Amino acid sequence: MVITQALLDNLTEQAKANPRLRQSYDLRNSAEDNSQRMLNAIEPGSEMPIHRHRFTSETVVCLRGCLVEEFFDELERICTERIELTPNGPVVAVNVPAGQWHRVFAKESGTVLMESKNGKWKPLGEEDILSL
């Protein structure tokens, strides 16, 4: 597969039309592929809960736009670190350790990231969403 600007443009238009202001695009080779690899177009204002992935790390790469990855402390329920990612900036990617509470948000319209995790996708349970 080739990831083109046209694909990113199309994904961004879908995100803008989506009530959640985000749209993903599956990069796996088949449904039997046990990884999670996707493009995710995120628009400013998209609500992303603070969450964790207990059994896998997550790699996030900013392909276009600008996004912020926030890390949270479970006990105090406060943001402990904010990392800005841009394709041509000082930070282009981040690896989120397994079990780390985090969320991401877009600072610019047209932001697209690539993310990957181990294992098949399954929805987050209540125990993996942090309420403030």
Spatial CA neighbour of 13 closest among 106, 105, 109 = 109
- Mean pLDDT taken over the chain: 94
pLDDT in tens, 10-62: 999 999 999 999 999 999 888 777 889 999 999 999 999 999 999 999 999 99
Rounded to the nearest angstrom, the gap between the alpha carbon of residue 127 and the centroid of all alpha carbons in its chain is 19
Residues shown for the chain: 132
List, in sequence order, every beta strand (DSSP E) within 19-123. 22-26, 35-42, 50-51, 58-64, 67-72, 79-85, 93-96, 101-106, 111-118
| Predicted pLDDT at 34 | 82
- Measuring CA to CA, which residue among 102, 62, 53, 54 is closest to residue 84? 62
**What is the C-alpha separation between 23 and 13, in angstroms, rounded?**
9
Q: What is the model's pTM?
A: 0.93
- Enumerate domains of the chain plus CATH numbers: 5-119 (2.60.120.10)
